[in-house]
Amino acid sequence: GIDYVKAVLDFGDRIFHVHAKDMRVDREQLYQRGVMSLGMGWQVPRLPGLGEVDWSKFLGALYAVGYDYVCSIEHEDRAFEGTEELVKRGLLIARDVLSPYLK
């Protein structure tokens, strides 16, 4: 996958908005479909904290390059959709995961 920390450090002066979205890679589907499938079927969107992003490292890199703007929660986790209660619970989980790292 992409080294998101290196990308932030390399391009930090050009980052003006950040979306907080996590991802889980379904390794079996990746094996079956391959990277040329452009993530179809093997990239599983998750709420921040429920995927593979190390939020401490990612947000630490943003602070290191002087980022001090918005961090929007991108809510695409299918486990937290379908009812207003699930959507709210998902947003609260994401907020609780991210808040220790945000100033």
DSSP class per residue in 32-47: HH-GGGTTTTTEEEE-
Question: Which pLDDT value is given to residue 42?
Answer: 75
Q: What is the pLDDT along the chain (103 residues), one digit of tens a residue?
A: 689 999 999 999 999 999 999 998 878 877 777 665 665 677 889 999 999 999 999 999 999 999 999 999 999 999 999 999 999 999 999 999 999 998 7
Predicted local confidence at residue 1, as pLDDT: 66
Number of domains in the chain: 1
Question: Taking the CA of residue 98 as centre, how many other CA atoms within 13 Å lie in the half-sphere pointing to its CB?
Answer: 23
What is the span of the domain harbouring residue 14?
A: 4-101
For residue 44, which phi and psi values (nearest 5 degrees)? Answer: -110, 110
Q: Are 73 and 98 in contact (CB under 8 A)?
A: yes
Write down the pLDDT at residue 35. 62
